[in-house]
Structure 1
Amino acid sequence: MADLLPANAPATLGNLHLLAKQVMEGFRSGLHKSPHKGFSVEFKEHRSYVQGDDPRTIDWKLYGKTDRLFIREHEQETNLRATLLVDCSGSMAYGGSRANGLTKHGYAVRCAAALSHLMIRQQDGCGLVTFDTKVRKFIPPRVRPKHLTAILTELAGSKTGGETDLGDVFHRMAAKLPRRGLLIIFSDLFGDVERLIPALAHLRHSGHEVVVFQILDPDELDFPFDRRTRFRNLEDHADHHTVDPVQVRRAYMERLHVFREELKNGCGRQRIGLVPLTTDRPYAEALGHYLAMRRRAR
């Protein structure tokens, strides 16, 4: 667990917060906008007084100017309920020579560990889902500091293996997470885009904000192989092919381009945040950059 969340990782994120971009539902006061009106800090609008309203909410200054009674309404702030979804399928086991010894899965669990620490530190609920062809582990969002230990323990013990059907898993998760919240997905997203985008849209239509960190190894982006190579399917070890990379590189790069464009356009249509990450970039630095940009955008 010390390797999963080294002491300098939280320090790299500094005083950044992970703030919700859309209205959230929670159980207590916090950093994020709630759909419920209350007495909290941010003024929203005036409305006419009606019999039965609490006199403490009357804007007496406005009454002095207009001789009419108006109620000051505020946006109540709430805590965030975030769930981290970590892909543990076989394809996440790849790690090239430029990735500082990390597989895509190793990179994903470190990102998830850093964000879970950040959210629980800011008194927000954080949960975890690990999955491949099905949900392996579901830890519901909680705020208690001991809950962080449970998340880190599960992340540290998670292993890759097996195939995955991202579309099917996300459809099932939409039914398991009834309250609106923030879903953060760590995956290479390798799969059928035509099945994946409707599944992500299902999560959005359930009221969740969805952010996807697409984690790729640099080798998968520039295909640097230049000699006869044996390629093995990490989700089906019996499936392997020995090819001349020079002959297949052009076709590979074209298909990769189409895949990424379809994914980008599909996520854009559904207002899903798609954040590309590569395993050769320090993960705490990448997360810090994203959080800073997110805060400015908000």
Structure 2
Amino acid sequence: MTIMRHVFGVAAVATLGAGAAQAQTYEMTLAHVLSDQSPYQVILEEFKSLVEERSGGDIAVEVQCCGQAGNEGRAIQSMRTGILTGGMVGGSTLETVVPAYRVLSLPYLFEDKSQAYEILQSEMGREMLDLLDEYGMHGLGFGSIYERSVATKAPARVESIDDMEGLKIRVLPTPGFVEAYKAMGTQPTPMSYGELFMAIQNNVVDALEISPDAIVADGFYEAVNTYTLTKAHQSTTVFVLSKSFWDGLPDDMKELVHTAALEAIDVGIAAHDKLADDGLVTAAEAGVEILEPDLAPFMESAKQSWDVILTDQPEATEFKERFEAFMAN
């Protein structure tokens, strides 16, 4: 019996040793709400390619597009609870969970897209990403900036701030965007992205605020007649992971994932900027009239929402002040 116990013990140790020698594998499901032709998809597919190759197959990535994991609010909740590994989400959507992110819903906060990139890729941007760890998420990096303007379906048409009065417009379902468009005189209608095409097609709304690349990628040029370059928001995007997944990675895998994410974001930003430029041309060729109004009255009206958006939001207010100081230098 002693000999048999000894033999069994050796076999058990050998089995455990063999198991310990095998590399730990990780499965990631990354989701977003845009189409499979979008910059979100470009970023996540590039990330998938990089991490699967560099990990030697120890990390496997599945990319889900088109709202398969639900709208952004639901996806964020799934990340926080560990049901979903991660994905691309709008910075403004995060304001419903992370109060400091409300600063990103301020209309005309940044002068242009390049300034937004400069600030969000600075130390201040890193600080904003680090805040996500307090809310069950981990921020890998800020992605593409979506310059959002107003697309309308006839007979609606926006040539000046006066044309915004009473306009029923779909906005991102966040408090900041709702207040911004209220200040411009519209009737803001919060709605998830997946509902948007049918809403404009069936006259549920008269207009939508959207970036030029999305007009083309998701076929909105078939449903709208004009696109007015109001440029109220330089809308940020964030590559986010579930904190529980991130915390479960060893340090070498964390470094691999983080590096791959930043490289993928660079690829996605380049793709997005080209899509945005091409989007205006393609939309115009498809018959969408591109209008360029005087932006001063839009800015004056929209910025009246800042105090409301930042009410009882000390962290967001502090970031706003720091952004302004940076831009003033």
* TM-score after normalising by structure 1: 0.33
From the two aligned structures, give the one with the greater helix fraction: 2
* TM-score after normalising by structure 2: 0.30
From the two aligned structures, give the one with the greater strand fraction: 1
Higher relative contact order (CA 8 A, sep 6+): 2
